[in-house]
């Protein structure tokens, strides 16, 4: 995710802001910038790439001011470039803004502002905020009033800081669905999106609440709630050290990323579901109804966890778009003789967007004239640049090598793509689409409930920490989730684990089952729930200890299994989003108990850019 730092006080803001941005580097970013109010005017420096580039820029083009704001950008709207780097200004260059989050309605707002004469200099959603503030800022309306008026027009998530060259005594800040914290100093105050940026200066902080705006001066802070009423927010003392703060207080990045999933899933569908009518809007996927009617087959290509997202999507594409779909491992696809032509839609899934095998497969599909869609997390990555269409997952940087939030982001993006295509093609009814949208909107709450199961899962993990092997079983759309659960366990706890479609057991793998082979089984509501119960019986009869992931009303499961993890129920086709969470926790806790390096498991790299 992007990072924000702001400062007002007696020091040179450039130094404080730069130091703060350095503390946010771990979050990942592609460009950075700082703006200060110098001699009555805004001075701004921005650079692409690492912070050292910004430092060089600042060394050659020095700026100075006691009030400043800065930002590290993880691109969401528009490629990583100097023009798209924050801070962004209004037309006059007097108002500058840094922003984290996504403005859902930025396109209509931008169109309207352009009609009113505003000139835009970037491709970002953030720039509309600067122009909206400009629109409302005048003799009668202070910077704070103007920010509050602008926010009334904005839909989406934001943490932001705004400053105006007319007044170097204040920074106006605001937050909704993205964190922002104010650090308290003596005759100086600090602002940051993440407490780790402030710890070198202060441990006393105020966490703003959703919908808050605040006017921060060097010697006072006024906070207003979402209705612009003045409110008090209590200050707190942060007891974390710098490393704990980077991980948001979690022991590992992986655990932090597991917990982020309530938010990241929303970030993936934010702005892509119309509020007015039940429609999926994917601006970046320009496939028309005619294009879709010409498609005879969908061919998904990916590696590892992304491949599992693809396997899940096969069920969805076939069910809802009625287009035959195959899923390929990229390293195989690229050396096979894939039957792909201009009637085949190829879909490439990659968190990093740089995986060498997936990139090579994409190039091969393009040579064969296939239309290509990429599902990527990293904006501006090679795969996202080379595909015809790209759908970003907007999950923010994933630092743990074991993919968690990127996986659920990929699934969410795939759900959107499937329903978008099915709606265009006319293979999904209005009613089905409305039910899907309602159920998807409920998923973050259900994920939050599932995250509350962590302690129980940890207790079960403790009993299995010395196990040498594991089998994961599921059927139908949850079969790829069994594969994903097994991959997580292999990757971070070095336990041999295999995922199987439960009905396939009797054709071989059942020979492995005895009391030394525990079985993790996904048995949530499904049209073939009873079949899965029989598969569990088969394993239990051979002495296996059974851990079942089930829904509360699946009472039979208590008799059939040794341990149960009861997750909230949802539509069967959305259940992979919920069912994968206990498996992520299970692998995580076993890894911690075994003393493994959770975030950087042996022999693995986050992004596999070689063959
Ligand atoms: C997942 O936990 C892995 N570390 C790995 O399988 C990963 O999903 C794979 O290398 C693909 O990466 P990508 O999504 O960046 O292309």
pLDDT at 44 over 70: yes
pLDDT in tens, 278-287: 899 998 999 9
Say yes or no: CB of residue 66 within 6 Å of ligand 1. no
Q: How far is the CA of 235 from the centre of ligand 1 (A)?
A: 41
The answer to whether the CB of 382 falls within 8 A of the CB of 353 is yes
Q: What is the position in ligand 1's atom list of the atom closest to the CA of 608?
A: 10
For residue 40, pLDDT over 90 is answered with: no
Q: Where are the alpha helices (DSSP H) in 452-478?
A: 454-463
The model's pLDDT over 55-71, given as tens digits with 9 standing for 90+, comes to 999 999 999 999 999 99
Q: Whose CA is nearest to atom 7 of ligand 1?
A: 304
Order of strands, edge to edge, in the sheet holding 181-184?
Answer: 42-48, 31-37, 67-73, 3-8, 189-192, 181-184, 204-207, 236-237
For residue 350 and ligand 1, the question of a CB distance below 6 A is answered with: yes
Task: Calculate mean pLDDT across residues 559-566.
Answer: 94
User: What's the token pair of residue 567?
Assistant: 């997750």
Residue 22 C-alpha to ligand 1 middle, in angstroms? Answer: 27
Q: Please compute the mean of the pLDDT values over residues 220-243 and round it to a whole number.
A: 88
Residue 523 near residue 533 (C-beta atoms within 8 A) = yes
Q: How far apart are CA 107 and CA 283, in angstroms?
A: 10
The residue with greater pLDDT, 27 or 117, is 117
Tell me, using a 6 A CB cutoff, whether residue 401 lines ligand 1: yes
Of all atoms in ligand 1, which is nearest to the CA of residue 401?
4
Supply the pLDDT for residue 194: 84
pLDDT at 354 over 80: yes
Please, are residues 176 and 131 in contact by the beta-carbon 8 Å criterion?
no
User: Would you please indicate which residues are annotated as catalytic (active-site) residues?
Assistant: 2, 606
Q: What is the pLDDT of residue 1?
A: 62
> In this structure, what token pair is assigned to residue 224?
């207003």
Binding site membership of 410 for ligand 1 (Cβ less than 6 Å): no
Distance CA(469)–CA(515), nearest Å, equals 11
DSSP secondary structure string, 547-591?
EEEEETT-THHHHH-SEEEEE----GGGHHHHHHHHHHHHHHHHH
Measured from the Cα of 355, ligand 1's closest atom is 16
Q: Residue 372: is its pLDDT beyond 90?
A: yes
Tell how far the Cα of 606 is from the centroid of ligand 1, in angstroms. Answer: 7
pTM: 0.80
Residue in this structure with the two tokens 């948001």, named with its chain if needed: 248
Q: Is the CB of 608 under 6 A from ligand 1?
A: yes
Tell me how far apart the terminal alpha carbons of the chain are, to the nearest angstrom: 29
β pairing state of 158-164 and 167-176: antiparallel
Atom 9, ligand 1: which residue's CA is nearest? Answer: 304
| Confidence band, pLDDT 50/70/90 cuts, at residue 311 | very high
Average pLDDT value over all residues in the chain:
93
24 contacts 100 by C-beta, under 8 angstroms? no
Residue 607 beta carbon below 6 angstroms from any ligand 1 atom: yes
Q: Which of 303, 598, 602, 610 to mutate to test the pocket of ligand 1 (most atoms within 8 A of CB)?
A: 303
Confidence grade of residue 476 (pLDDT, cut at 50, 70, 90): very high
Residues in contact with 21: Cβ distance below 8 Å, sequence separation at least 6, in sequence order: 3, 5, 32, 34, 51, 54, 70, 71, 72, 197
Q: What is the pLDDT of residues 11-33, one digit of tens each?
A: 999 999 999 999 888 777 889 99
For residue 117, the model assigns a pLDDT of 96
Other C-beta atoms lying within 10 Å of the C-beta of residue 107 = 15
Which atom of ligand 1 approaches the CA of 410 most closely? 14
The Cα–Cα gap between 610 and 156 comes to 38
CA distance 246 to 250: 9
pLDDT for 140-191, tens place per residue?
Answer: 899 999 999 999 999 988 999 999 999 999 999 999 988 899 999 999 999 9
Ligand 1 touching residue 305 (CB < 6 A):
yes
Helix (H, G, I), strand (E, B) or coil at 197: helix
Which pLDDT score, from 0 to 100, does residue 154 have? 94
Pocket test for ligand 1, best of 28, 304, 328, 601 (most atoms within 8 A of CB): 304
CB distance 196 to ligand 1 below 6 Å:
no
> Which pLDDT does position 169 carry in this prediction?
94
pLDDT at residue 342, as a whole number: 96
Percent of the chain past pLDDT 90, that is, above it, reads: 81
Best of 307, 312, 406, 608 for a ligand 1 pocket test (most atoms within 8 Å of beta carbon): 608
Centre of ligand 1 to C-alpha 357, Å, is: 11
257 lines ligand 1 (CB under 6 A): no
Cα of 305 to ligand 1 centre, how many Å?
5
| Lookup: tokens for 393 | 């997952």
506 has a pLDDT exceeding 70: yes
Cα atoms found within 13 Å of the Cα of residue 53, Cβ hemisphere only:
14
> What distance in Å separates the CA atoms of residue 468 and residue 395, rounded to the nearest whole number?
33
Mean pLDDT along residues 102-106: 89
Q: Is the pLDDT of residue 238 over 90?
A: no
User: Rounded to the nearest whole angstrom, what is the distance from the C-alpha of residue 589 to the centroid of ligand 1?
Assistant: 20
Q: In terms of DSSP H, where are the helices of 78-174?
A: 106-115, 127-136, 143-153
What pLDDT does 611 receive?
A: 65
Q: Which of 403, 480, 603 to mutate to test the pocket of ligand 1 (most atoms within 8 A of CB)?
A: 403
In the chain, count H helices and then E strands. Answer: 20, 25
Q: Are 300 and 313 in contact (CB under 8 A)?
A: yes
Pick the atom of ligand 1 nearest to 607's CA.
15
């Amino acid at each position: 995710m992007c990072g924000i730092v702001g400062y007002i006080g007696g020091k040179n803001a450039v130094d404080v802001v730069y130091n703060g941005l350095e503390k946010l580097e771990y979050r990942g970013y592609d460009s950075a910038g700082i703006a200060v109010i110098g001699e009555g005017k805004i001075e701004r420096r921005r650079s692409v790439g690492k912070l050292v580039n910004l430092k060089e820029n600042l060394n050659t083009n020095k700026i100075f001011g006691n009030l400043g704001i800065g930002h590290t950008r993880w691109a969401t709207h528009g490629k990583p470039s100097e023009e798209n780097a924050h801070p962004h200004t209004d037309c006059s260059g007097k108002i500058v803004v840094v922003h984290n989050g996504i403005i859902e309605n930025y396109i209509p707002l931008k169109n309207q502002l352009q009609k009113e004469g505003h000139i835009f200099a970037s491709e970002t959603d953030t720039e509309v905020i600067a122009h909206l503030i400009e629109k409302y800022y005048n003799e009668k309306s202070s910077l704070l009033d103007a920010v509050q008026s602008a926010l009334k027009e904005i839909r989406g998530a934001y943490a932001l800081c705004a400053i105006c060259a007319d007044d170097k005594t204040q920074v106006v800040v605001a937050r909704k669905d993205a964190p922002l914290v104010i650090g308290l100093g003596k005759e100086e105050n600090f602002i940051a999106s993440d407490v780790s940026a402030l710890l070198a200066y202060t441990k006393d902080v105020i966490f703003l609440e959703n919908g808050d705006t605040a006017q921060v001066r060097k010697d006072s802070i006024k906070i207003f709630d979402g209705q612009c009423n003045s409110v008090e927010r209590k200050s707190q003392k942060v007891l974390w050290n710098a490393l704990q703060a980077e991980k948001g207080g979690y022991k590992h990045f992986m655990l932090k990323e597991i917990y982020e999933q309530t938010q990241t899933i929303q970030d993936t569908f934010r702005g892509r579901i119309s509020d007015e009518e039940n429609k999926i809007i994917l601006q970046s996927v320009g496939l028309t109804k005619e294009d879709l009617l010409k498609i005879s087959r969908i061919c998904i290509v990916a590696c590892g966890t992304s491949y599992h997202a693809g396997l899940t999507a096969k069920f969805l594409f076939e069910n809802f778009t009625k287009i035959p779909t195959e899923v390929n491992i990229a390293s195989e696809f690229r050396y096979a003789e894939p039957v792909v032509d201009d009637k085949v839609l190829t879909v490439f899934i990659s968190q990093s967007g740089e995986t060498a095998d997936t990139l090579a497969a994409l190039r091969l599909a393009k040579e064969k004239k296939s239309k290509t869609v990429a599902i990527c997390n990293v904006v501006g990555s090679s795969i996202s640049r080379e595909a015809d269409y790209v759908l970003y997952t907007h999950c923010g940087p994933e630092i743990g090598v074991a993919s968690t939030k990127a996986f659920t982001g990929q699934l969410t993006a795939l759900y959107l793509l499937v329903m978008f295509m099915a709606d265009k093609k006319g293979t999904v009814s209005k009613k089905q689409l409305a039910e899907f949208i309602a159920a998807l909107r409920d998923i973050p709450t259900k994920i939050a409930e599932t995250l509350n199961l962590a302690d129980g899962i940890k207790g079960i993990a403790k009993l299995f920490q010395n196990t040498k092997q594991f089998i994961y079983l599921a059927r139908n759309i949850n079969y790829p989730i069994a594969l994903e659960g097994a991959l997580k366990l292999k990757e971070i706890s070095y336990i041999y684990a295999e995922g199987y479609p439960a009905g396939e057991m009797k054709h071989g793998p059942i020979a492995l089952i005895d009391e030394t082979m525990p079985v993790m089984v996904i048995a949530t509501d499904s049209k073939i729930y009873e079949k899965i119960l029989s598969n569990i019986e088969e394993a239990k009869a051979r002495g296996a200890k059974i851990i079942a992931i089930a829904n509360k009303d699946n009472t039979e499961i208590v008799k059939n299994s040794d341990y149960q993890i009861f997750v909230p129920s949802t539509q069967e086709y959305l259940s992979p989003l919920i069912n994968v969470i206990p498996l992520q926790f299970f692998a995580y806790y076993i890894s911690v108990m075994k003393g493994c390096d959770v975030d950087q498991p042996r022999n693995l790299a986050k992004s596999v850019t070689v063959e």
